[in-house]
Structure 1
Amino acid sequence: KLCAAGDVITGALHNRSMKAPRENASETEYLAMEHSKEPLSPSRMTIASRFSQHMSPKVVDAVIAGVALTTCLLTLYTIDLAMGKNALPLFAAPLMSASVIFFGGPSPPPVRGFAICTVGAWFAGFLMKALLPFDDKVELCFIVGGLLIFFRLTGNFFVPTVGLATFLIADQTGRMSDPVHALRFLCTPWLAGHALIYGTACAVAIFRRQVRVSLSKARFRSHMQEQMQHGEGALKEIFHRYDTSGDGFLQAG
């Protein structure tokens, strides 16, 4: 099935015998071709062209991720404030580093690594805090090395979970030596807060992908429009770039 961009180029060339050297298209451009349904109107083409020239998909995606993460964390903090003394809580400083991991990539990483590293970090931090007679700073040195061994042996490197163990050890109130308080912190805010952040990151990842595809389509169409203005020679060059099979046709995907 020919994509819309392929129809435009093939119709303009009417030539299947050209064998000029060609360069493979980038993954982003192929993605834009696959999602092309119909050409934009001239007015929309102008707007999309100007926007795509000044804002790359990478920049827009980074801004959306950062704004979404900030909004998510502020929402958790606001919920805690609204609940007052009865707050679970959902917001805590040790959650910050993991939240960056959840929003940092195109989509959040698998939950398995977070779950395994959380279990190991909690047990290591609680047992060291409760059983070892060393100074807190000495225990912190031991816990980091111990968790590195644990990460290597399990093959899971969700490093932000180190913050859970260090929080239990560095607690100055003495409450984290009590298993009840340590378990409560594990449930809320650690697990509950991370669950909400992770769910938000998954939802935002879908929207981010749609934006990236839309911007890639606009950039590709803008590029095509500019090249078409340079005549048949430019069209032939583009055609041979995408005709990787050399059969004179452009296949979507």
Structure 2
Amino acid sequence: MIKLVLTDMDNTLIPFGAERVSPRAMDAIRELRAAGVEFGPATGRDTQELMRFFGGDDSAFQTGILSNGKKIYVDGELRRKSLIDNAALQRLSDYVRGFEHCFVTAYPLANDQTNPAWCIATTEADAAPYAERFKFACTLADAVPEDELIAATVACPLGQDVLEKIKAGGMEACPEFDLVQPVDAWCDVVPRGLNKGTALPMLLDAMGISQDEVVFFGDAENDLALMGALENSVAVANATPAAAAAARYHIGRCDEDSVAAALEEIACATREGRTPRFML
């Protein structure tokens, strides 16, 4: 029996660039919980961004894996927090700045609804499109600040081939990090070996459930580790080829509210004591 549903956000539960989770999805989350199944995000996003996505309803992310595994919440309690190494991030920034118009962005642990971020060693012209696209408040900085950092990213407008070169070279220059790509022209920077999948055991232990009682929906590279850790992994139809291949089950597209439909089916199946149809 399913006891927990985890879902990626961008291009899985919500189309990338959308301001809010759909009303249907919000209703499906409530229906799921009413049926006795817990719900939570497993995402690269942090709390202030989730507040925007869920329209200020923080009940939707009391439990979950945030910031690509750097934060784990259970019933509203932060059970784990992992920070970005500032010195290593400076080395990564020094490497990335060798590629024209590419740059590193650093996000402070102490954040708010404006989603503040430092754009390192770049220009306002290069940073502004990303600040608009990813909805953060950009402050230009010559170097990585000394503040505690919960997240970092790499922006690259030069195409996938160049981004792949930055990912490979950046991880070689900075073995403290993995660089994983959730969407085009953008990489998340995470501590080496830390991801959504490695966060799972702590979450399961805290909730007292097993991995076969969890369903996860995803679409991209930063979902692969969690898909590999769970037998009930589900890819949306717009998933990358790697994510589609890693998933055991498949549903429709994100922009068709397919995850919402799947949540409705899980709730119905739970009440009726059967397996959800998309998992048959």
Superposition TM-score, scaled by structure 2 size: 0.22
Greater fraction of residues in strand: 2
Instruction: Normalising by structure 1, report the TM-score.
Output: 0.24
Q: Which structure is richer in relative contact order (CA contacts within 8 A, separation 6 or more)?
A: 1
